[in-house]
């Protein structure tokens, strides 16, 4: 790995994620505001690493692989924090995390055999929706900690009303899971060959034969 500026931006998101989560869970004015600022800075680096890589020709296979992983680490930290604070349901967060793990494993497998996966536009929509939801919730959490006009506090209380947050998170979860399903469907040909090889393997045939003999 060549440690150029885009790669430094990518790594910074993975470093910021646990610090952000710790500050968010601590509570208190300084901690929550600091957590929000850190997350926004990390979100900006997601744009900067791609911009610098394209502008200065510093794209790399490592960066292509790790950049979406760093994004997932950051958003996962936020969703875990929201669940721990009781803002969203755990089952939604678990679905989002499982989707990200499945697509990451799939992408790693594809890269290992030199077959890059096809990424649809819906994946970018998913990232935009997730980031928008997280930043809105974080900004209004910070607003409640600051000495701001009463109408802003009232607006924050409405935005963070449990039913509003839960319904919005449900929409985010549906979009996230669907893009995962679409991801596998679009690249299903990638799975066909390994599955055929597995079914034709001697070890599997022996296993089926042994079970048939036991039956």
**Using CA atoms in the order 33, 37, 42, 45, what is the torsion angle rounded to 10 degrees?**
180
Lowest-confidence pick of 126-130, 184-188, 207-211? 207-211
Q: Could you report the per-residue pLDDT of 58-108, keeping only the tens digit for each?
A: 666 655 667 788 889 999 999 999 999 999 999 999 999 999 898 888 877
Q: How many CB atoms lie within 10 A of CB 150?
A: 7
First-last CA distance in the chain: 53
pLDDT at res. 165: 96
pLDDT category of residue 184 using cuts at 50, 70 and 90: confident
Q: For residue 127, what are the contacts with CB-CB under 8 A and spacing of at least 6?
A: 71
pLDDT at res. 199: 47
**Higher pLDDT among residues 61 and 215, named by residue:** 61
Give all domains of the chain, ordered by start, each with its CATH number: 5-214 (1.20.120)
CB of 53 closer than 8 Å to CB of 59? yes
Please give the Cα distance from 86 to 23 (Å, whole number): 16
């Amino acid at each position: 790995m060549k440690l150029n500026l885009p790669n430094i931006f990518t790594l910074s998101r993975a470093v910021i994620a646990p610090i952000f989560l710790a500050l968010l869970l601590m509570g208190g004015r300084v901690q929550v505001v600091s957590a929000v600022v850190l997350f926004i800075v990390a979100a900006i680096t997601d744009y900067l690493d791609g911009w610098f890589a394209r502008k200065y020709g510093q794209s790399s296979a490592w960066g292509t692989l790790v950049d979406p992983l760093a994004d997932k680490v950051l958003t996962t930290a936020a969703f875990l924090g929201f669940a721990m604070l009781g803002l969203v349901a755990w089952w939604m967060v678990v679905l989002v995390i499982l989707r990200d793990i499945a697509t990451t494993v799939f992408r790693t497998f594809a890269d290992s055999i030199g077959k890059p996966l096809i990424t649809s536009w819906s994946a970018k929509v998913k990232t935009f929706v997730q980031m928008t939801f997280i930043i809105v919730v974080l900004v209004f959490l910070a607003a409640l900690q600051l000495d701001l006009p009463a109408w802003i506090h009232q607006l924050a209380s409405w935005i963070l009303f449990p039913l509003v947050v839960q319904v919005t998170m449900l929409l985010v979860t549906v979009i996230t899971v669907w893009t995962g399903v679409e991801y596998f469907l679009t690249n299903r040909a990638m799975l066909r060959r390994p599955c055929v090889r597995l079914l034709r393997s001697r070890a599997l045939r022996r296993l089926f034969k042994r079970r048939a003999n036991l039956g």
